[in-house]
Amino acid sequence: MDRTFTKTLFFFIIVIFSIHNIRAQNDAKLSIFNYNPLFYNPAFAGSADGLNIVGMYSSQWVGFDGAPKTQYLSADTKSLQKIGYGLSLYHDVIGAKREYNLEGNFAYYIKLNRKYKLVLGVKSGINSYNVNRNNLDIYEPGEEISNFNQENKTSPIFGAGANFYSDKFFIGISSPNLLQSTYSNSSGTTLSNRKNYYYTNFGYQFELRRDITLTPALLARVTPGAPISILTSLNYSYLNKYLASVNFDYNASAGIFLGIQLIDDLKVGYAYDISTTKFSNYNNGSHTFFLSYTLLNENAEKCTCHLY
């Protein structure tokens, strides 16, 4: 293990442990996190070394009233072998809350030596947050929360991230939004707080045969008022045309994903997750649909973090 790898890995470990006590508002976390990395880390812009378009639709906790529904669409590319950039759209509905994000992503690729690359990324955009009283069941009409019909707020987004990788592994850290916001109704009652939150991800790719790879990966997230959440997955690829993975979120869920290349550059996939707690008695699992179009540059050098 050379000194470049050792020093960089040590840096990432220090940063990861230093954020252990940070508190933040929870953000959507889809089980097939390896297939939408730009969502949580702008340093993944251009990771396919070509044009990459991803669309996702997730319906979680089916059968549970007010359960989350999430849509995600992104497009990113890479130019001059050093610059990655892209645009991402995000829409999330849970209960009475509806949220939209429009984000621009920028990444700069640094070749450390023949084996390792470091990518630094930033994202900027706007967030629209809406709470509709008509979607709430008010059991105590005198409560302050009943003194509004609909509340809207638009706030800026600024996030940052880094990704360090070789042809065998990748490790990244990020905060998709470093800015803090408070959402209140007209009477000053706080409806929601948004503070800093952080992700770290890691994966190692094993080449079982020339056309078969197996990549164990994890995504850790710091959330408010809860332990660090760690989602792990084992990802299989055959000829880069047939995809499969299993995932496990400790004390939360387990699931499976299957994907296939329909025609050149176009892949579709489906994931199903079940709750592994007593909450499974109140929902019928989560469904996620995946669509991607990837047009690689000539002599492309994909990041190992790009699994499809």
Could you state, in order of their start, the residue ranges of all structural domains in the chain?
3-296
- One-letter amino acid at 57 equals Y
Q: What is the mean pLDDT of residues 39-68?
A: 92
> Which pLDDT score is estimated for 14?
40
pLDDT tens column, 204-247: 999 998 899 999 999 998 876 667 889 999 999 999 999 999 99
Let me know the angle formed at the C-alpha of 35 by 217 and 270, rounded to the nearest 5 degrees: 110
Q: What is the mean pLDDT of residues 39-56?
A: 95
The contacts of residue 140 (CB under 8 Å, 6+ apart) are 146
> Which pLDDT score is estimated for 243?
97
Assigned CATH topology for domain 3-296: Porin (2.40.160)
Query: Burial, 144: exposed, middle or buried (Cβ in 10 Å; 0-12, 13-18, 19+)?
Result: exposed
Closest CA to 269 of 84, 94, 68, 30: 30
Q: Can you tell me the distance from the alpha carbon of 221 to that of 288, in angstroms, rounded to the nearest whole number?
A: 20
> Which pLDDT score is estimated for 152?
81
Q: How confident is the model at residue 160 (pLDDT cuts 50, 70, 90)?
A: very high
**What is the value of pTM for the model shown?**
0.83
Q: Can you tell me the distance from the alpha carbon of 180 to that of 174, in angstroms, rounded to the nearest whole number?
A: 16
Q: How confident is the model at residue 41 (pLDDT cuts 50, 70, 90)?
A: very high
Q: What is the mean pLDDT of residues 66-71?
A: 90
Using CA atoms, how far residue 221 sits from 121, 137, 261, 264, in Å, is: 18, 31, 30, 34
pLDDT above 70 for 191: no
Q: What is the mean pLDDT of residues 129-143?
A: 68
> Which pLDDT score is estimated for 105?
98
Contact 254, 240 (CB under 8 A): no
pLDDT above 70 for 155: yes
Q: What is the mean pLDDT of residues 142-154?
A: 64
> Which pLDDT score is estimated for 136?
63
DSSP 28-44: ---S-GGG-GGGT-GGG
Long-range pairs, 18-21, Cβ under 8 A, ≥24: 19/198, 19/222, 20/222, 20/228
pLDDT tens column, 1-38: 455 544 444 444 444 433 333 333 345 667 788 898 89
